[in-house]
Structure 1
Amino acid sequence: MSLVIGEISYTNILPLYYYLDRELLKSHGCSFTPQVPSELNASMSAGRVDVGGISSFAYAENTSQFTLLPDLSVSAYEKVGSIFLFSKVPIEQLSGKSIALTSSSATSVHLLKVILERFYQHEVQYETMKPSMDRMLDQNDACLLIGDDAILASWRKAEKLYQYDLASLWYKHTGLPMTFAVVAVRNEVIDRSSHLVGLLYRSLIQSKQLSRQKQFQPMIKDILQTYGGRKSFWDEYFQELCYEFSENEQRGLTLYYQLAYELGYLQKPVDAIQIWKAVES
């Protein structure tokens, strides 16, 4: 038996993967596939990937097929630092405007729609585009970028543009954290390869713990060589993110699912979040 393990190709989830014992996992027949969230969501749904970090929205669309691993997520309270709405006008004036949405995400796209429609009562026109701030804003009044695309865009944006952190907007209106990614496993994989999933889970937890113990410093050193930026930015960025999946993170995610369903973005309500408790023993 083997596992195909999906990795979201963004720095925000890197602490869960940075210290994985890849050689041990590969010796058990595991392989890794890095993809942006939208690609990974599709691969999980189609059965090409067995387990990995996926968009929270993708889990809501596949609750009958997926189970979540405990104590693992990419969540944020007062800001996420890598999911931004860039706008030519203040957010209060976006009603009737056009917004370009990144093609790389599902969770953030629907979070923006929930925020604008429920909290601001805006009616907005949307267009999905490949992530490029310049091209997106050439044709639209605002754009949504996520992950490393959003970080790089924020470093070079024009001063006249307004910039909004989606986690901050969510927290402002709900007082709850927002969970952007979860670690999901296909149910049939649990049935056939539970020991391998357990091995991966323990390695993910260890990676999360080591990242924290080392204050993300070895990882940040590598990121600086790849993406640049100021070390102080990356220090603050990772300190702001939450990698737990406690009751509070689950409450925030449940509210997000409820609002997405009420607005018609989910076909079925999410009655319960299924977490694989047995993996902890």
Structure 2
Amino acid sequence: MNGLSNGMKITARIGMVNYINTAPLYEVWRQSVRRADWRITEAPPSVLNRMLHENELDLGFVSSQEYALHPGEYRIMSDLSISSTGPVGSVFLFSELPIAGLDEQLVLLSPQSQTSVSLVKIILEEFHQVHPRYRSGLASELGQDAERPAAVLAIGDEALRLAVEARYPHRLDLGEAWQERTGLPFVFAVWAVRENFCREEPDTVFAIYQELHRCLREGKARLPEISAIVAKRVPMDEAACYRYLQRIEYDLGNEKQEALRRFFEYLIKRGEVPASALPLKVCGKQ
């Protein structure tokens, strides 16, 4: 977290996910943005979701479903996301069994992203008519006395580690499974801005928007260098990290917005979010 050294008033509280998939943006941000009045909090999506909802942040990268859960509280910052068209490479269901064999079996769900939890349930229950038992937890924290799950949902850096270890005979890339059924990309995370902050601080929102896009442009141009920096976190091969980051998409154009709407329609039908999640609300004068 970035603090203040001179007593300057904080004008924006920003939530950042520090997974490898944000590195093309966030590595450049950390190196080049020098705004003591913008306070950064690094955390997994689930923590940022809670903080934004509880007004501990003004804006941040959060799970797409967080916006849909509280649509009256937020607006979506335009043309920014974490998304993929087809395989995403870091949101997997790793399984001991083929998907069809998971009916009534225990599936461990990562607590770090509610979007991925809902997406895997849609894929299993709606697309494959498979109804497992679910428990929340991390694959890395399974105790010896716990029932061994037949499959685990892992996201972000944990998913990359499990993919490298190749300990599960079956794995399902959720971005790929979604595209195969819908023909659409999938949007895992959006930049959500609290409604009152968007309304009261439009100049600050626009300044942050500009910096985010500048960092993203520079990060994409420096992708081999950034891949070399972050690959050791997993650890994974630098070339594999580069190929992975090339697949991650950061825009929120018309097709991505249609993909969000389709996802929210499933969530509304399943009773997981209110019908007011639609239509989408975009923030700003950008």
TM-score, normalised to structure 1, is: 0.92
Deviations 1:212-236 (A, max 9, x none): 223x122112103433311121111
Q: What residue identity is the alignment partner of 2:161? A: L
Measured on the aligned residues, the alpha-carbon RMSD in Å equals 1.9
- 1:123-147 CA-to-partner distances (Å, cap 9, x unmatched) read 2111111342755995211110000
Render the CA deviation track for 1:232-251: whole Å, top value 9, x for unaligned.
21111111111110000111
Compute the displacement of 1:268 (Å).
3.1
Give, in whole Å, the separation in 1 of the partners of 2:246 and 2:32: 28
User: Equivalent of 2:89, from 81, 86, 97?
Assistant: 81
Deviations 1:7-64 (CA, angstroms, capped at 9, x unpaired): 012111222322227775524x111000001100000000001111000010111211
Matched, 1:20 2:29: yes
Correspondent of 2:166 among 143, 152, 157: 157
Q: Runs of 4 or more off by more than 4 Å in structure 1?
A: 21-25, 133-138
Confirm or deny that 1:53 pairs with 2:61. Answer: yes
SS, match of residue 242 in structure 1: coil
Contact kept in structure 1, 2:76 and 2:283, CA below 8 Å: yes
Residues 229-279 of structure 1 deviation map (CA, whole Å, 9 limit, x = unaligned): 11121111111111110000111111111011112222435221111241x
In structure 2, do the counterparts of structure 1 residues 163 and 143 end up closer, same or farther at CA, with 3 Å as the change threshold?
A: same
Q: Which amino acid aligns with 1:13?
A: T
Aligned to 1:147: 156
Equivalent position to 1:248, from 252, 255, 259:
255
Which shows bigger deviation, 134-143 or 63-72? 134-143
Q: Give matches, 1:1-281, under 5 Å.
A: 2-20=11-29, 26-27=35-36, 29-132=37-140, 135=143, 139-158=148-167, 161-214=169-222, 216-278=223-285, 280=286
Q: Give structure 1 stretches of 5+ with no counterpart.
A: none
User: Which amino acid letter does the alignment assign opposite residue 263 of structure 2?
Assistant: Y
Q: Distance in 2 between matches of 1:135 and 1:255?
A: 37
Letter paired with 2:265: Q
1:160-185 deviations in Å (ceiling 9; x for gaps): 52111100110111110000000011
Partner-residue secondary structure (3-state), 1:139: coil
CA separation of 1:23 and 1:233: change in aligned 2, threshold 3 A = closer
The one-letter code matched in structure 2 to 1:64 is G
- The farther-off stretch of 191-200 and 57-66 is 191-200
User: How many residue pairs were aligned?
Assistant: 276
CA distance in 2, matches of 1:225, 1:111: 29
Q: Determine if contact 2:103/2:131 at 8 Å carries over to the other structure.
A: yes
Provide the residue aligned with 2:6 in structure 1. Answer: none
Cα distance change, pair 133–122 in 1 and its aligned pair in 2 (3 A): farther
Larger CA deviation: 14-23 vs 245-254: 14-23
Question: In structure 2, how many angstroms separate the alpha carbons of the residues matched to 1:86 and 1:115?
Answer: 14
| C-alpha displacement of 1:194 | 1.9
Separation of aligned partners in 1, 2:239 and 2:217: 21
Which letter maps to 1:232? A
Q: Decide whether the 8 Å contact of 1:103 with 1:131 is kept in 2.
A: no
